[in-house]
Amino acid sequence: MTCHTPKNRTVKVLLTSLAGAGVGAAVGVLLYSRSSMERRRQFRNYRTDQRLRLQGDWNLLKGKLQQAYTQLTDEDLTYVEGKGHELVSRLQAKLGKGKRKVIKLLNAL
């Protein structure tokens, strides 16, 4: 014969809750491993890859682009400070590449 008083039930619920919280914490620590850190690093790199960072003399960079891609005209390569998205859009259409690849290409110059 077991005694099922309200106090015993409360203790059981409390112990079960604590055990569940402990298991949840252990699983969380195991899942917060290197793979999640790697995912955060890839996401951070992805965000910075999406920003256009042109450095140096634009005329020199423009010349390099025209040598590499002869189909590009001076009009295609018109760059106005603060309107890099327009340049990227024109190059996307002319080169048939995605936005990310065009930005990587320009940043690599």
Per-domain residue ranges for the chain? Answer: 6-49, 58-108
Give per-residue pLDDT as tens, 46-81: 555 567 777 778 888 888 889 999 999 889 888 888
Q: Which residue has the higher pLDDT, 96 or 80?
A: 96
Q: Any long-range contacts for 93-102 (C-beta under 8 Å, 24+ apart)?
A: 94/69, 95/69, 99/50, 100/49, 100/50
Output DSSP code: residue 33: S
Q: For residue 1, what pLDDT is reported?
A: 47
Q: Cα–Cα distance between 74 and 10 in angstroms, integer?
A: 78
Q: Cα–Cα distance between 21 and 31 in angstroms, integer?
A: 15
Position 96 confidence tier, pLDDT thresholds 50, 70, 90: very high
Q: For residue 47, what pLDDT is reported?
A: 57
Is residue 52 within 8 Å of 101, Cβ to Cβ? no
Q: Which residue has the higher pLDDT, 95 or 81?
A: 95
